[in-house]
A and B are shown apart, each in its own frame.
Chain A
Amino acid sequence: MIMTEGVCMRFGGLTAVSDLSISIEKNEIVGLIGPNGAGKTTAFNTITGVYRPSEGRIVFDGRDVTGAKPHRITELGIARTFQNIRLWKDMSVLENVLVACHLRMGVGVFSSTLHLPGYRAKERRSREFAMRLLDSVGLADQASEAATSLPYGKQRRLEIVRALATEPKLLLLDEPAAGMNPQESLELMGFIGRIRDEYDLTILLIEHHMQVVMGVCSRMYVLDYGVTIAHGSPEEIRNDPKVIEAYLGVD
């Protein structure tokens, strides 16, 4: 479904990511782990078009999407969440999701403003879709509350649901379990598996929570200082000496 070939990302003299070559098949849940500052979010950013890779290509669904603009990437079917939650503060929970629905509505500024019948039908459908998404994470009751009034865990869920509203094929989750307690992490694992099945998704996941990653991913890549140091199944990674060294440091 998606493949990166030798992607490098350099900022001036600093190489944040070097020679990233990963590939993910449809409906897989793949993890991207590594110590802090390893370049995981930068990798996400090159895939989603926030940064143009200094080298290499990214091929999604058979199409070369290297350097495409973020909104175009989302249009093609890749959605993401952010490490530091980026909800829209001045809008309600429902509105946050509705903005993400706008992409697939296909309405222009005129038909929106004039509230033409075609627009009104689409708006209604978007609202229903958004409410269903909110319902699936238990946020339907808070639909008209301010997005930032939600507790942290619920805000994370809202961000995921907002990304789902763009009807993606590939979902990139950046530390979705950050700040969650074990109970919530367990629920999150179940949730990830569920949405993968229900929405026919492929998922790439950055996470520090080992329990979550090991439990939900079929494969993982390990980054350290931008370099891919290991790749394999959870058992293989768990026992890989290079990974242990990266996380714990050399003796």
Chain B
Amino acid sequence: MKKNAVLSIVAVALFAALVGVADIALGRFAVRILNLSAIYIVLALSLNLLNGFTGLFSLGHAGFMAVGAYVSALLTMSPAQKEMNFFLEPIVPFLRNVQLPFPVALLAAGLCAALVAVIIGVPALRLRDDYLAIATLGFAEIIRVLITNAQSLTNGAQGLKGITKFSTTWVVWSVAALSVVFMLALVRSSYGRTMKAVRDDEIAAEAMGVNVFKVKSTSFVISSFMAGVGGALLGHMITTIDPKMFTLTLTFNILLIVVLGGNGSITGSVIGAVVVTVLMEALRFLDMPMDFLFIKTDGLPGLRMVIFSILLMIVVLYRQRGLMGNTEFSWDGLFGLFKAGQGKGGRR
């Protein structure tokens, strides 16, 4: 065990150094992709907590992200910026002069999303799995419509521009790292075991004294908190948000990451987030006009999403467990891979 702990600490230190180097050495575009992956790690973990570890199929993630993004943006924008943005209708008085430091706003973002989760969760979590999916989807849509129409609160369809870019490399990767540590600690605890029991067979769990409703609600609230934080980080990275960003497509992208990486694997979500984010950018050329050798197209927008949808279908149909299934990374596992690769000489 000691050996594993040492190896892990060394790996983390190395990784932190790597992030630092990358931040300085790589171009702005690459750094942006890197940081986007970190945000998606947080988002994927939050969905995985709900979906993979507690067995609740919720499609409302985009709604919680929207709440987080808007709360954080509105709390950090200066009065001058607000006046510039809210040109159709002035902002609600109690928000006009509020300007809080970023960490406070980030926390508030998570808490507001969590609060919304409490309101939604109490009725919704009593529903069966397929109904829960539609109900959460419905709530996400309601949130989006509310945001679009609450002109004086959110600036409606115009969205908010000029959000301060607080999501620096260190910020996002620290939050990502914190999320990973938190998830690991939660999943390996007694509470984490009850979550998995609820996922596998909630009737048996209830019979063994587990307060299933409480476990589901707690999961839902924590997941939404993380989604709110993730949404806020996203807003502070791309500096503009509007209601059209937070649609089912966004939830789908995160679902994609979780499914590909393995529903129920923290390692899988991390790897999945990085891979999918990079791939999404890398495959962007598919949507662009191509003038490659003899292939000349006028751009096939949507082709990228087609590929990702096919990828999702393939995984769900042929390798349901995704990349990692519900196993996690372990040093022994990693070395085992190498030993097996060395040929018969490495076998015990």
Contact = CB atoms under 8 A, between A and B. Distances in A.
Q: Decide if A and B touch, CB cutoff 8 A.
A: yes
B193 A99 contact: yes
Interface in B160-210: 182, 185-186, 189-194, 196-197, 199-201, 203-210
A70 interface: yes
Given A112-B189, A112-B190, A115-B189, A162 B208 contact: yes
Contacts of A74: 206-209
Given A70-B207, A74-B207, A113-B185, A88 B197 contact: yes
A69 B207 CA distance: 9
A80 B211 CA distance: 16
Nearest to A85: B204
A50 to B, nearest CB: 7
Interface string A83-121: 000111111000100111111110111001111000100
Contact of B204 (A88, A113, A114, A115): A88
Contacts of B207: 48, 50, 70-71, 74, 79-80, 82, 86
B212 interface: yes
B208 A99 contact: yes
Contacts of B218: 109
Nearest to A86: B204
Interface residues of B, number: 28
A71 B211 contact: yes
Contacts of B182: 113
A200 interface: no
A85 to B, nearest CB: 9
A91 B193 contact: yes
Contact of A71 (B200, B201, B210): B210
A192 interface: no
Given A89-B200, A90-B326, A91-B197, A113 B191 contact: yes
A71 B326 contact: no
Contact of A86 (B186, B189, B196, B201): B201
A82 B207 CA distance: 10
A82 B205 CA distance: 12
Contacts of A91: 193, 196-197, 200
Contacts of A113: 182, 185-186, 189, 191-192
A64 B120 CA distance: 32
B191 to A, nearest CB: 4
A102 B197 CA distance: 11
A75 interface: yes
Given A109-B218, A113-B185, A113-B186, A99 B205 contact: yes
A119 to B, nearest CB: 7
Interface string A41-76: 000000010100000000000000000011100110
A112 B208 contact: no
A114 B185 contact: yes
Contacts of B222: 109
Given A86-B203, A87-B204, A95 B193 contact: yes
A193 B193 CA distance: 31
Nearest to B182: A113
Contacts of B205: 88, 99
B195 to A, nearest CB: 9
A228 interface: no
Interface centre among A74, A86, A109, A166 (most CB of B within 10 A): A109
Given A71-B212, A74-B209, A100-B208, A88 B200 contact: yes
14 contacts: A50-B203, A70-B207, A74-B206, A90-B264, A98-B190, A100-B208, A103-B210, A108-B191, A112-B189, A112-B192, A113-B191, A113-B192, A115-B185, A163-B208
Given A162-B208, A165-B208, 20 more contacts: A50-B206, A70-B206, A71-B206, A74-B206, A74-B207, A74-B209, A88-B200, A90-B264, A91-B200, A95-B196, A100-B209, A102-B190, A103-B210, A112-B190, A112-B191, A113-B189, A115-B189, A119-B189, A123-B189, A123-B190
8 smallest A-B Cβ distances: which pairs? A103-B209, A112-B189, A74-B209, A86-B204, A112-B191, A88-B200, A70-B206, A100-B208
